[in-house]
């Protein structure tokens, strides 16, 4: 007769070999987060930029089958349960896609664009976005 320790090892090994152990752990984390999440504490409203960023991340997570991680992102961020339409997202980002790029998340296409850019010496200038809860920057300049 197998001992409890041997039985635990056999179950863990079986779940790992079937590729479900990680999914189970992620599901448990998501359920624990959901149980602990205080729905009475209002979340700050999503800015337009955060809505788009969260949607890019959600599309990436779901493409890679990180569904429980995506569900935690949705719950924690206040992102709408129903994903934004991909064409709407592409239009907001001013992105034009070809047939091959539509088979992968937009985030992959954006990464590919910047990583494989033919402009070897140039860098992209990024401007900070205004965040809803960001503290205003100090406007004082030290005396020279």
pLDDT of 137 > 50? The answer is no
Q: With 80 as the cut, is the pLDDT of residue 135 above it?
A: no
More confident residue, 92 or 28: 92
Is pLDDT at 140 greater than 50 in this prediction? no
Lowest mean pLDDT of 3-7, 51-55, 115-119, name the range. Answer: 115-119
Q: Mean pLDDT, to the nearest integer, of 76-82? A: 86
What integer best gives the mean pLDDT of the chain?
A: 80
User: So where are the chain's domains?
Assistant: 8-38, 45-115
Fold for the domain defined by 45-115: Mitochondrial Import Receptor Subunit Tom20; Chain A (1.20.960)
- Residue 59, both tokens: 């599309």
Rounded Cα distance between 62 and 55, Å, is 10
- pLDDT tens per residue across span 36-70: 766 667 777 889 999 999 999 999 999 999 888 88
- Chain-centre distance for alpha carbon 109: 15
Q: How many CB atoms lie within 10 A of CB 70?
A: 22
Model pTM score: 0.64
Q: Note the pLDDT of residue 12.
A: 87
For the record, the structure tokens of 66 come out as 């990180």
pLDDT(3) > 70: yes
**Using CA atoms, how far apart are residues 55 and 49, in angstroms rounded to an integer?**
10
Contact 63, 104 (CB under 8 A): yes
Does residue 136 surpass a pLDDT of 90?
no
H/E stretch holding 34 reads: helix 21-36
Examine the pLDDT at 132 and tell me if it is beyond 90. no
């Amino acid at each position: 007769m197998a001992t409890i320790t041997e039985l635990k090892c056999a179950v863990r090994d079986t779940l790992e070999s079937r590729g479900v152990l990680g999914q189970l752990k992620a599901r448990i984390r998501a359920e624990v987060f959901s149980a602990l999440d205080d729905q009475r504490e209002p979340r700050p409203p999503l800015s337009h930029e955060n809505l788009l960023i969260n949607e890019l991340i959600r599309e990436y997570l779901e493409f890679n089958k990180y569904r429980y991680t995506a569900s935690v992102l949705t719950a924690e961020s206040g992102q709408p349960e129903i994903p934004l339409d991909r064409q709407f997202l592409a239009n907001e980002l001013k992105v034009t896609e070809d047939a091959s790029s539509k088979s992968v998340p937009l985030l992959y296409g954006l990464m590919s664009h910047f990583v494989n850019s033919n402009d070897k010496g140039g860098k992209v200038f990024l401007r900070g976005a205004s965040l809803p809860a960001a503290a205003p920057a100090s406007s004082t300049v030290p005396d020279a």
